[in-house]
């Protein structure tokens, strides 16, 4: 499966079900699924918490106001937006972050 990413310059480039990433700290990209875009703000489903301490991380809804370092993934083949959102929503509240096996990506 081919995948590429494109820089996001405007929230108007995002739609529900998009897979996005952005820089949090050097060497660390954070990933999320766009749930909605409203009033210039991007609502995502993501593993929350401090990027260096994921002890209490869980999958939750959050709002991203700053898209300066955001990129959108473009896939040759992928699930439709309805399926992506259904799967993300089913995982809300899930814990058990592990950098190698169960992470934000």
Q: pLDDT tens, 16-36?
A: 999 998 877 767 778 899 999
Per-domain boundaries in the chain: 3-90
CATH class of 3-90: mainly beta
Rounded to two decimals, what is the model's pTM? 0.84
Query: How far is residue 29's CA from residue 56's CA, in Å, rounded to a whole number?
Result: 19
Length of the chain: 105
Q: Is 104 helix (H, G, I), strand (E, B) or coil?
A: coil
Q: pLDDT tens, 45-70?
A: 988 765 566 667 888 999 988 888 89
């Amino acid at each position: 499966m081919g995948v590429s990413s494109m820089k996001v310059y405007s929230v108007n480039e995002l739609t529900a079900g998009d897979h996005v990433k952005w820089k949090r700290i050097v060497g660390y990209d954070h990933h999320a699924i766009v749930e909605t875009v409203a009033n210039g703000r991007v609502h995502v489903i993501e593993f929350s918490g401090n990027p260096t301490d994921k002890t209490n991380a869980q999958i939750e809804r959050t709002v991203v106001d700053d898209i300066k370092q955001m990129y959108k993934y473009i896939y040759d083949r992928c699930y439709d937006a309805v399926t992506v959102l259904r799967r993300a929503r089913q995982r809300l509240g899930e814990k058990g972050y592990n950098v190698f096996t169960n992470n934000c990506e």
